[in-house]
Amino acid sequence: MLAKPQLLRVQRSAVIQSKRALHDLVTLPGRKPVISYGPPGYSAVSGHVVTVFGCTGFLGRYLVSKLARMGTQVVVPYRDEDEKRLLKPMGDLGQIVSMEWDIRNEDQIAECLRHSDIVYNLVGRDYETNSDHRNFKFADVHVAGAERLAKVAADHGVQRFVHVSHLNASPTSTSQFYRTKAEGEERVRSVFPNATVVRPATMFGYEDKFLNNMANWPIWWKLNFGETKIRPVHVIDVAQALANLMSIPQLTRTVSLPGPSTLTYEYLLELVEALTYRAPSRAPVVPKPIALAVARAAQLAWWPLMSPDEVERRYIDDVNVPGDWEAVGVRPDEVENHAITYLRRYRLAKDYLRPVLFPARPS
């Protein structure tokens, strides 16, 4: 038997839940009306169904969490059982639907997206995995894979397709990664003309391959004498921008999401050293031909190491285009505001609680 105040609260929430407002109803062309109900938050039902390809990656987990927290049902296609397990508790019971998929299998792709209002494509790889014992080249994932996802989505009447590319995507880049990203954008547009293409810059966060890699392998960030310019962006800002796309009118253009400041690798290495209380790295600056030779030799390993294309990318400045943050309703944060959260674990025990001091930013 419930106590009286508790009973009243239950009754009141039942009344609130039974109310309907006009904004609870969304009609999408060619689809059933979408009706949201319940309180806002984790246990709400927004009525929307979303598929996030690439949900098991760094950006994917933050996007799934943000979508699920709005009460959206999220289909999470996965390749490895263990990779999708952490996504399950991000939504209420039944809201996270995992489905096994292969990027080469159109039937499986169709199964994953045929109930969805929006499809996000976050699939990408920053190294090639095509040799005797591996499967995918850049073009297989960024071009053919992206086109296949967009085409199947278009064939099944999905209303919106959001394709995540890279800020530096360019058909004339010296990096094959950036060239295939640009070609992928074009192919997506050719089969899904209304697609939104999102171009984030290099992202930092807990699981990044950026600040963590700087803390572990400073030598590889000294290439080009640390002079390469980069516009780092917080992964949570990019995930928020992607989640916000759901609730604003469809953007049928390219949305650039660079960080708020342009910084050099040299400054960022200093920042990592200052935050982790480590002595400056005395590693030499490796000349490009030697770095490329080492990266080529590292290709023989069956686990991912520095690839030759990654060496090439360390010499390419981030493009100087304005950010489209206003269009997605997010204000991006500076790297200094979050770096300690992700780097404190690299401090020695004796330094763990020491103050957070920043190096001077170069003018």
Ligand X SMILES: NC(=O)c1ccc[n+]([C@@H]2O[C@H](COP(=O)([O-])OP(=O)(O)OC[C@H]3O[C@@H](n4cnc5c(N)ncnc54)[C@H](OP(=O)(O)O)[C@@H]3O)[C@@H](O)[C@H]2O)c1
- Name the site residues for ligand X (rule: CB under 6 A): 54, 56-60, 79-80, 83, 103, 122-125, 136, 141, 164, 166, 200, 202-203
Write 10-18 long-range contacts (CB < 8 A, 24+).
13/39
Pair of tokens at residue 344? 């404190």
| Least distance CB 198 / ligand X (angstroms) | 8
Q: Cβ closer to ligand X: 17 or 130?
A: 130
| Least distance CB 203 / ligand X (angstroms) | 4
| Least distance CB 146 / ligand X (angstroms) | 9
The C-alpha atoms of residue 304 and residue 322 are separated, in whole angstroms, by 33
The C-alpha atoms of residue 274 and residue 240 are separated, in whole angstroms, by 29
Q: Are 141 and 53 in contact (CB under 8 A)?
A: no
Q: Which residues contact 148 (CB under 8 A, 6 or more apart)?
A: 103, 104, 106, 109
| Least distance CB 190 / ligand X (angstroms) | 19
Q: Cβ closer to ligand X: 110 or 356?
A: 110
Q: Cβ closer to ligand X: 36 or 116?
A: 116
Q: Are 295 and 128 in contact (CB under 8 A)?
A: no
| Least distance CB 301 / ligand X (angstroms) | 17
Q: Cβ closer to ligand X: 60 or 71?
A: 60
| Least distance CB 178 / ligand X (angstroms) | 10
Give the CB-nearest residue to ligand X.
57
| Least distance CB 284 / ligand X (angstroms) | 26
Of 207, 188, 60, 209, the closest CA to residue 127 belongs to 209
Q: Cβ closer to ligand X: 218 or 258?
A: 258
| Least distance CB 240 / ligand X (angstroms) | 15
The C-alpha atoms of residue 138 and residue 346 are separated, in whole angstroms, by 32
| Least distance CB 56 / ligand X (angstroms) | 3
Q: Are 293 and 270 in contact (CB under 8 A)?
A: no
Measure Cα distances from 265 to 1, 219, 221 in Å.
64, 11, 6
Q: Cβ closer to ligand X: 44 or 295?
A: 295
Q: For tokens 């297989």, what's the residue?
A: 140
Query: What ranges in 133-264 are assigned the alpha helix state H?
Result: 138-139, 146-155, 176-191, 211-216, 235-244
Q: What is the chain's length?
A: 363
Q: Which helix (H) or strand (E) holds 327?
A: helix 325-328
Q: Cβ closer to ligand X: 158 or 201?
A: 201
* 132 three-class SS: coil
Q: Cβ closer to ligand X: 34 or 139?
A: 139
Strand partners, 77: 99
Pair of tokens at residue 151? 């085409």
